[in-house]
Amino acid sequence: MTNFGYTLMTEQSGPKELVKYAVGAENVGFDFEVSSDHYSPWLSSMGHSPYAWTTLGAVAQATERVELMTYVTCPIIRYHPAVVAQKAATLQILADGRFTLGLGSGENLNEHVVGEGWPSIDKRQDMFVEALEIIRALHAGGLVTYEGKHFRVDSARIWDLPEG
């Protein structure tokens, strides 16, 4: 059977409207909802770009059945992978297991804002592999220390992990 998804267009609506649209999409039978994780809209004329993680937390509380997903969170520049791991675990708890973490290596439009420059595709892919290792290790539970070429984690653990 085909599943049907609804895109919460964070570049075109504010956070309160997105929650309202998410509830409406669930009510008419959509199976999943995805939210872009952008710092800026694609075009300034779009006029919005609320923080996807806060919006998805509100959507998780306002909906009951629909699956939720980020597309795409970049865990290598604007966010440290340990922070991505923590917020994904928290959202999974708030969504009662309905959340999927969608990850990618990002694009300059959203990542340049932290002033770290825009690495080559090869470097971004290397960073992405390390980020996945960190996120998976933290989601496995326990204390994590990691020393990579691009990222370090010092004695971190996620205190609130989803069950299962």
Distance CA 111, CA 3 (A): 31
What is the separation of C-alpha 65 from the centre of its chain, rounded to a whole number of angstroms?
19
Enter the tokens of residue 76: 């290598």
Non-local (6+) Cβ contacts of 87 within 8 A are: 53
Which one from 26, 38, 111, 130 is the annotated catalytic residue? 38
Asked if residue 71 lies in contact with residue 106, where contact means CB atoms within 8 angstroms, the answer is: no
Residue 48 among the catalytic residues: no
Q: Catalytic residue numbers?
A: 38, 107
